[in-house]
Amino acid sequence: MVHIIKTLAVGLLACVAHAFNYDQLYRGQYHFSPQDNWMNDPSGLLYHNEIYHLFFQYNPSGIQWGNLSWGHATSKDLTHWEEQPVALLARGHSGNVTEMYFTGSAIVDMNNTSGFRKDRKTPIVAIANIPTGSWRGATAIPRHLALRTIGDKVTLVQQPQEAWSSIVNKRAAYSHKYNSMLEGSVHLGTTSETIKIDLSFSAASTASKFAIAVRGSADFTKQTLVGYDFVNKQVFIDRTKSGDVSFDNTFASVYRGPLAADVNGKVNLSIFVDRSSVEVFGGQGETTLTAQIFPSRDAINTQLVSTGGTTKSVKIDIFNVASTWN
């Protein structure tokens, strides 16, 4: 028996799909999204009989909020997903809907030892208007959580789960070291739409900021900056010029999080770029940031940017990431 616990938790990345075609503009190539229609919050997440189950808010008949049901997908490795039939279909769907299923949890409870019962709540619903055509909503990449001692503090850290590495090319598409990078930019050329970047540099640099521009246009008037603020000791994602930001006046924004250098005085960033998202793991995973972006398909230029001074001991490796849908 799987019990559903209805709660009011809300939150996720935003992206979903059309028919069986997963080669679409903005379609994430290594982030789960349903074949068709609108998705929102991941809800019931569980592991049972060596299978991972992902349930999620789902509209089975459109790309807008409505007909709230629970979609269902399964995976053996948290990387390759197979979409299953709708698990909880809105009562009266395709006609007069009288009951819908909102955000909640799921557990495997064969004997109902938890004693959960049905409980109706007034829902809180996030409505979005992102420019994704026939699909809407996606998850972030699955993460492994652990406690590590960083400095003198026990810290909760996040890292991509281990099986994820199976879709990353083992040989770097681009690799370089710079003893020092003067103020200005260095064009790294073009990349795939789906990449993983390992970037490290010295915290003793004289620059005020250092960043990598991803999904950039040829002239970099459109770009997403992922970098580090040496003055405030913060990692950031700047999507103010990331592509299509016209659909909401708050979308063109900058996200920041605190991040200290490691014991060797280095700042380490692992950056995951998909067709419409950027995820950053700072240090050992003590700081993470996630943002959606909507660049044009030809925005595949990359450059390093040092602002206000020199950035020292820069090391960068860029790896191509395969699609899990093809």
Is 141 within 8 Å of 272 (Cβ atoms)? yes
Terminal-to-terminal C-alpha distance of the chain: 34
Cβ neighbour number for residue 154 with a 10 Å cutoff: 9
Is 298 within 8 Å of 173 (Cβ atoms)? no
What sign has the CA pseudo-torsion 242, 246, 247, 252?
Answer: positive
- Report angle CA 286, 289, 293 to the nearest 5 degrees: 165
> Tokens standing for 223?
């770009």
Cβ neighbour number for residue 96 with a 10 Å cutoff: 7
The C-alpha atoms of residue 297 and residue 193 are separated, in whole angstroms, by 8
219 counts as catalytic = no
- SS3 state of residue 137: coil
Q: Which residues contact 68 (CB under 8 A, 6 or more apart)?
A: 57, 58, 59, 90, 100, 101, 102, 123
Quick one: which H or E segment has residue 86? strand 81-88
Please provide residue 263's backbone torsions phi and psi, each rounded to the nearest 5 degrees. Answer: -65, -20
Catalytic site residue from 23, 36, 41, 198: 41
Q: Output the DSSP codes for 155-166.
A: EEEEEE-GGGGG
Cα–Cα distances (Å) from 77 to 126, 157, 160, 162, in that order, read 29, 20, 12, 9
Fill in the amino acid letter for 244.
D
List residues with catalytic annotation: 41
